[in-house]
Amino acid sequence: MRIFLAFLGISLLCLALAASGQNAGSPSDKTWTAPPDAAAKQNPNAGKADAVTAGQKIFLRSCAECHGEDGTGLQEGVSNLQSPDVQKQSDGALFWKVTTGNVKKGMPGFGKLEENDRWNVVSYLRALKPAGSPSGENQPTSPKAQ
């Protein structure tokens, strides 16, 4: 009976931890915020279609394994990049998060990518729209990752 209760307790703990993740139905990590100077940075590639295309290729190669091709998150605890909590962040904040990562939540930092490539990823993140949203029809199509 003790083994059963221990197993039940561990199972409930795992469920509680999974439910506290950041995927589509869960809140984002409110403690993971960019410093003000980083959040204030402007995306030099904003509004450039070629930056979105280049960012999409990098995203599919480096990010889609966890976030999915559409950015909604494939696993519990992975941020839904289409969510309002993510989309309302500044380009500088997203750039900082891509660069530094969040090891506590399992997000690796991609500071080894060229700076321009990281800005391109941010440009692509801005192009992510939920299906059926007013701008969702213009969402980039998924080219094959190279």
**Which residue type does 69 have?**
E
Residues 43-56: tens digit of each pLDDT: 999 999 999 999 99
Q: What is the pLDDT of residue 10?
A: 43
pLDDT above 70 as % of the chain: 69
CB 80 within 8 A of CB 86: yes
The class (CATH top level) of 34-138 is mainly alpha
CA–CA separation, 80 and 39 (whole Å): 20
Q: Please give the DSSP secondary-structure letter assigned to residue 110.
A: -
Supply the pTM of this predicted model: 0.73
Confidence of residue 123 (pLDDT cuts 50, 70, 90): very high
Tell me which DSSP letter residue 88 carries.
Answer: T
Residue 61 has pLDDT above 90, yes or no: yes
Q: What is the pLDDT of residue 12?
A: 34
Would you kindly state where each structural domain of the chain is located, as residue ranges? 34-138
